[in-house]
Amino acid sequence: MPDFEKKIPDGDTSERQVCTACGYIAYENPKIVVGTVVVDDGRVLLCRRAIEPRLGFWTLPAGYLELNETTAEGAKREALEEAGADIALDGILAVYNISRIGQVQIIYRGALHTPGISAGTESLEVGFFRWDEIPWDRIAFPSVHWALQAWRELGPRPLAAPFGNPAQDQRGTQRLDAESVAL
């Protein structure tokens, strides 16, 4: 079994795990998360999480991008897996940087392609919510708040440049607090 040591490789500027036998560099890079704000008749699709982190809290259908799939394919797969939703994508709504946990999140805007939703294995329940019905105090992650705000701000207008992190959290380092939940 090879031995790794943490050091700055020649020509690099950051510490990496480097194999002492062959010099292989084990890079650690951010994970890509893909998801969708799925809208039907002015209501947004939310999934109540059946897994940690944030078990029992509500989120958008989203998850990690798999190898050999595009971000659009991943977003559609996640909607199908988590909410039984066959969706059509409109385009990219937002790109968020969550540096504190090493994620880049690409959030699409979409709609049901064919009717019907059902909870997948990672969801306790799924449902469509009007803006004033969204369980704001039970939203799982800051980026879900951001994406819902971006969706509301944009409305049905055509997509342009994607939204990004809010000005007060450009690097995605802040956690949710009681004040940010009150929208």
Q: What is the pLDDT of residue 180?
A: 60
- Amino acid, single-letter form, for residue 40: D
Is the pTM higher than 0.95? The answer reads no
Q: What is the pLDDT of residue 178?
A: 62
| Dihedral of the alpha carbons of 118, 124, 127, 130, in degrees to the nearest 10 | -170
CA angle 59, 39, 87 (to 5 degrees): 90
Residues 6+ apart with CB under 8 A from 132: none
Q: What is the pLDDT of residue 181?
A: 59
Q: What is the pLDDT of residue 2?
A: 80
Q: What is the pLDDT of residue 174?
A: 86
Q: Catalogue all structural domains in the chain, each as residue range(s) with its CATH number.
A: 31-181 (3.90.79.10)
* Tens digit of pLDDT at every position of the chain (183 positions): 789 999 999 999 999 999 999 999 999 999 999 999 999 999 999 999 999 999 999 999 999 999 999 999 999 999 999 999 999 999 999 999 999 999 999 999 999 999 999 999 999 999 999 999 999 999 999 999 999 999 999 998 999 889 999 999 998 888 877 666 555
Q: What is the pLDDT of residue 36?
A: 98
